[in-house]
Amino acid sequence: MEILFITDDNSLKIPSDDRYKLVTTPPDQIEVEKIEGYDMVVVDARNPEAQQIVKSIRQSQSDAIALKPVFLFSTEEIKDMKLQCLSDGKTDSGEPLRIVSHANEISRLVSTLKEFKPENFEISAMLRILRFLYTRSIQLKPMILPTYRYGYIYPFAASQFSDDEDFRIYEILVRLEQEGLLMGNFYDRIHLCNRCRSAFMNFREICPSCKSANLSVENVIHHFSCGYTSEESKFTHGEQLICPKCNKILKHIGMDYEKPSTIFICHSCNETFQEPLVECFCFYCTNRTPVDETVSWDIKTYEITPAGVNCAIHGIMFSFAEFLSSQLDLVEYNDFKKMVDLEIERNKRYKRESSVAVFQVSNLQQIFFEIGEKKNELALEMAKIIKDALRKTDLISVLNESTFLLLFLETPAKNAQIALSRIKNNIEKLLIPNLSTSGKKFIPQITTNVLPVEEFSLNKIFP
């Protein structure tokens, strides 16, 4: 076994023996492509670049490199949780034998993986996550990372995406769960900014009138003998409480006066109120939004399902979107949205009605996996069903691998619903017999919705 030990500590002498050969290299000389030749990598965690090194290994295009057993060397506790999650374990002595068996098991499982060329990045990332979980026999666990914009991070999954695309991790995990390839268990619920999806938000009480957060709260005092009821500050004269109405000194709570409630005072506009609004201020994009308009998102731990294991081994992930684009004139989502906006304006002017239909097969990967080799044939049939239901003027776009958007021009929602039902029925008629022959008892999970074009929004595609 050949082990690559990445460290710049020259004083560290780890002797090789006949069971393994240790090659030591300093971090600045590491070439990720050359890692493939080693059976295992040990990274000196004391090195400040350790996280970057491990991350670059996990981000490699090649499964052989990205899934390589990577261990950390440190004699102390490793505080970098992200680094720990990206690695396969830790060793605190120069003796690598303790981790060799673990590395061998990983390598054995990696060797069972079939060669597979994913059709696009999304498929590639999905497969990489499945393969990582399968070869390590672990769960994908969220980790709290205060510096991360969502608060929780899945380090390995996150390493597959660039920083500006990291929310896609969550969407991909949801898809893998919908496909039945991962099983999610609730871990926590987070609230995200509805503009930038950041969890780094300040929840604060604000004035209902001017929206300022410059508030203070005071007790309300009710003076029994004259009925005067107002803020405590109006009664306060030094140490004493004196009623502004009758000038009596309030001596005894419960006998002379009571404090029946509290009141907020806004120091920006002098408004008084008892129930301030609560808003979220996003530190990332400075968006201000009411609490009930934040995006609520469930954080889960994920474990791979038997279907996920099969998928990880065989790599049978099929991009229907990719396939569809070869059969139909698919429009990019941004162009689709522009057309929708244009259509809204046209409809306003000419008093017409157009509709957007949404079509989602949430367990599409599972279906293709079950159908196996006939998947190309089936996809072609599905593409044909969609093509037949559309007129030349209608547009189709892909939101993600399982969700499709259709713009029916000059078609009221009622008529669009008819076309959509036709697509749904025909696809079900096509898939159900094929799935029953595979011997598995599951049905395609198809969700549809039709909206008048004016009501189309990504947040509302399904009721």
Partner 1 sequence: MDNILEFFEHTKNFIFFWKTAGMLKIFRIFWFFFVFEMVRYVLFDLFVICIYKVKSVFLRKKYQTARQMLLKQNPLVSVIAPGKNEGKHISALVNSLAEQTYKNLEIIIIDDGSDDDTPQICRALLRERKITKYLRNDIRGGKASAANFGFQQAKGSFIVHVDADCSFDRDAIENILIPFFLDSRIGVVSGNVKVRNPTESVCSALQAIEYLKTVTVGRLVSSTLKTLRIVSGAFGAFRADVINRVGGWDIGPGLDGDISVKVRKVNFAVYMEPKAVCYTSAPEDFKSLIKQRLRWSRSFVRFRLRKHKDVFFPTANFRFSTFFSFMENFVYNFLLDFKWIVYFIDIMIHFPTTAKYIFPLNYFLYTMSNVVQFIVIIWISERKKDELKLAPYLLLMPLYVGIYMRAVRTYAYIQELLFKTSYKDPWNPRKVSKKAEELGI
Contacts to partner 1 by CB under 8 A: 220, 222, 224-231, 234, 245-246, 254-256, 258, 260-261, 263, 272-275
Smallest distance from partner 1 to CB 405, Å: 34
Q: Which is nearer to partner 1, 254 or 306 (CB)?
A: 254
Of 167 and 228, nearer to partner 1 (C-beta) is: 228
In the bound state with partner 1, the residue whose beta carbon lies nearer, of 49 and 232, is 232
Q: Which is nearer to partner 1, 204 or 222 (CB)?
A: 222
CB of 452 to partner 1, least distance (A): 25
CB-wise, 16 or 270, nearer to partner 1?
A: 270
- Least Å distance, CB 221 to partner 1, is 10
Q: Which is nearer to partner 1, 217 or 226 (CB)?
A: 226
Question: Rounded to the nearest whole angstrom, what is the least distance from the CB of residue 238 to partner 1 in the complex?
Answer: 22
Give the chain as a 3 state SS string: CEEEEECCCCCCCCCCECCEEEEEECHHHCCHHHHHHCCEEEEECCCCCHHHHHHHHHCCCCHHHHCCCEEEECCCCCCCHHHHHHCCCEECCCCCHHHHHHHHHHHHHHHCCCCCCCCCHHHHHHHHHHHHHHHHCCCECCEECCCCCCCEECHHHHHCCCHHHCCHHHHHHHHHHHCCCEEEEEEEEEEECCCCCCCCEEEEEECCCCCCCCEEEEEEEEECCCCCEEEHHHCEECCEEECCCCCCECCCECCCEEEEEEEEEECCCCCEECCCEEEEEECCCCCEEEHHHCEEEEEEEEEECHHHHHHHHHCCCCCHHHHHHHHCCEECHHHHHHHHHHHHHHHHHHCCCCEEEEEEECCHHHHHHHHHHHHHHHHHHHHHHHHHHCCCCCEEEEEECCEEEEEECCCCHHHHHHHHHHHHHHHHHHHHHHHHHCCCCCCCCEEEEEEEHHHCCHHHCCC
Q: Minimum CB separation from partner 1 for residue 213, in Å? A: 19
Report the nearest approach of partner 1 to the CB of residue 206 (Å).
15
Q: Which is nearer to partner 1, 194 or 230 (CB)?
A: 230
Q: How far is the CB of 209 from partner 1 (least distance, A)?
A: 9
Distance of closest approach, residue 455 Cβ to partner 1, in angstroms:
22
> Cβ closer to partner 1: 121 or 224?
224
